[in-house]
Chains A and B, each alone.
Chain A
């Protein structure tokens, strides 16, 4: 009943959704990397925390505020908790190590990741939690025989709005300018009176809040949350950030969407068990052919 083209189109829609999750998580990765050169391994777990908080809060408020209002409240709560978590991780785990070897920083990030995911594991007793939004997933706009549901449209719209606002924030505000300046040269920034620690903290809060939104949306979209769900999306989002050029904000968005689409096509043609091989193969290929990613600046590495 579906022709091959319609299947591919349907997969592209799925890929676009997946890609916007990747992009939102990748943004946090990329901003943090751009500003303090840290591979924030805990970022995927921040996303998972966002999903977890969203699910818990929705469970509590859905009686009073069902549907989208309740989800919006839950996502806001998730953003607040994840943002705080990102800030605390930055303040207590990463900041003392900013001048230490980069490997130590990476290990600390793995430590933070272990702490977050295992805390949630203990709370949930390793069981997956299920989410029922009460939204009707069959409503949507039909294009021929493929359907784009309203849930999908709203998620794409939210992602697009977030990415546009973030771009404006970074390019048009003083805070954004300070972030870009710190990415170039921290010491000089401190000399001209920029509060470097504050801006780094802000970057973590922003990135974590974006990841929390992605987590909340994923929780609505997929309907389940598990303590170890952050690992794979963390790696995928990092892949997306690298494909786009790590440190570059538009690169992270492009990389995320691209990875989502390619993965959907990979699922279509190679089967779902090989889709990750496809994604990582692509990562290695892009790094060999274009080591700085699609939109990254080429730079001379200083250790």
Chain B
């Protein structure tokens, strides 16, 4: 009953890079995490911008200047790509949860679709928003 080996079991290594051949499924998997965490950072900026707008014109001007600055645009366009990638790959995960698309060929194809699709959607959105 007592677990004599507790705390002394082998741990699984971090699989990317050294131990694991590069493949699209590992790339799409880690990107899902990275984009999710990164959007948490972007969410801070978005909430700050809304709070500033609720506070008044001076506070809003400051927040809006930061978000629409050169660096702000870079961060927000990065977050936009993260959103589209996480959205497309998230739908891929939901389809997997329903039990479909697990064979290697389909998984590789939908993975590429999420990568390329997110880049295309980001570009389209930037164009649409820039044109008004």
Partners in one complex: no
Residues of chain A touching chain B, judged by Cβ–Cβ distance below 8 Å, are none
